[in-house]
Amino acid sequence: MTDPAPVEVTTAFGESFDFRRRLQELFDRSPLEPDELMFNLGLYVRSSLLVKFLVLDDLYRRFVSVPGALMEFGTWRGQNLVLLENLRAIHEPFNKQRTIVGFDTFTGYPEASGMADTALKEHGSYRATSDYPSYLAELLEAHEGSNAFGHLRGNHRLVAGDVTETAPQYFADHPETLVAFAFFDMGPYEPTVAALRAIQPHLVPGSVILFDELTWSGAPGEAIAFKEVFRDIPYAIEKCSLYPSKSIVTVL
């Protein structure tokens, strides 16, 4: 029997790879000074990244009137957490009770998940250096501090470890939590089902959940976990129009 074909992890091909590399090379030799570069980063933002910003903005508008925390299960570098803090500052600058919580091992996929090899092909295993969580915490605080009411800060949380353990523990420690938004971006069944079960009692009507790969047959774990936990929860579901591989679930 021959080995199965490798899992496709990107939609880029041929010439578009060359242009991607050229963009990176142009970024590497940018003539802009760091302060100018920080203010003109859009020069280098590709549509594949820009669309993620647009999707999160669209979702923010949907859950802005729902009380509760914003969570990401599988944060990797934490870009979405930073984006959520900045969308908070734009959409509800006076709301300093909007806690943002990111869960990740910060050491990549646990070996036992069987995802380590696939992930390796994608982004070097998603393994961060041991000091990355504290760097990300500082980054988040710098964004909070530079936004309106920046003197009130320090609400956001990074939870390091395997979510099968950390998610139940987080809600045991914070039973008052309501979840307005959660993004599931880990993939395999076990962590997804554990985190979904952990947030379930904390969802409210209007809570929005974004799933990264509910319809990807190459990794059915997320969909199986979703169907299992949402069997008894009334919800609406739609395909994300700007990013068709993602699905949006709204609790009714």
Ligand X SMILES: C[S@@+](CC[C@H](N)C(=O)[O-])C[C@H]1O[C@@H](n2cnc3c(N)ncnc32)[C@H](O)[C@@H]1O
- Residues engaged in binding ligand X (CB under 6 A): 72, 74-77, 79-80, 103-105, 108-110, 113, 126, 162-164, 185-186, 191
Q: Residue 102 is inside which H or E element, if any?
A: strand 100-104
Q: At closest approach, how far in Å is the CB of 82 from ligand X?
A: 10
Smaller CB separation from ligand X, 94 or 216: 216
- Angle between helix 163-173 and helix 189-199 axes, rounded to 10 deg: 10
> CA nearest 210: which of 58, 7, 10?
58
Q: At closest approach, how far in Å is the CB of 105 from ligand X?
A: 4
Smaller CB separation from ligand X, 96 or 127: 127
Q: At closest approach, how far in Å is the CB of 2 from ligand X?
A: 28
Q: At closest approach, how far in Å is the CB of 149 from ligand X?
A: 27
Smaller CB separation from ligand X, 75 or 247: 75
Distance set, CA 73 to CA 122, 174, 182, 204 (Å): 18, 17, 7, 18
Two tokens at 26? 């142009």
Smaller CB separation from ligand X, 158 or 186: 186
Which residue has its beta carbon closest to ligand X? 74
Q: Measured between alpha carbons, how far is 210 from 175 in angstroms, rounded to an integer?
A: 22
Q: At closest approach, how far in Å is the CB of 48 from ligand X?
A: 12
Region of residue 108 (phi > 0: left; psi between -120 and 50: alpha; otherwise: beta): left
Burial class, 194, CB count within 10 angstroms (exposed 0-12 / middle 13-18 / buried 19+): buried
Smaller CB separation from ligand X, 63 or 211: 211
